[in-house]
Amino acid sequence: QVQVVECGGGLAPAGGSLGLTCAAGRSLVTESVSWFRQAPGKEREFVAGIDSRGGMAYYSDSVKGRFTISRDKAKNTVYLQMDSLKLEDAAVYYCARKTGTAVSRNPPDYLSWGQGTQVTVFS
């Protein structure tokens, strides 16, 4: 089973930027990849996803226009660029992969999850 590993979380001021990276041990060419996040006391929520071909990206309404998901097929890597961060973006961010072209916003559809990376936004 392909494992994914996230890195790049950390501290950022409100209005600032952070970039997250999701790296897989082998090709993700037939799989879609998404980012989810979970804040304390809240359910895990979909943030952004990109289809297996890398042509279509999807975002939650809360991050649309501020976050950008992209993938580098040659490096088996997916990125999440987070700009104009808000306090409410603070959470543990998870990368997850699923077979098939389409992106799903439903966590149970995903086969493999990373360990998560903490994003903290301060005022």
User: Which residue type is seen at 31?
Assistant: E
Look-up of token digits 């790049």: 8
**94-111 tens-digit pLDDT:** 999 998 889 999 999 998
**50-98 tens-digit pLDDT:** 998 878 999 999 999 999 999 998 889 999 999 999 999 999 999 999 9
* Furthest C-alpha separation in the chain: 40
pLDDT above 80 for 1: no
**21-35 tens-digit pLDDT:** 999 877 777 889 999
- The CA dihedral of 26, 48, 52, 19, to the nearest 10 degrees, is -40
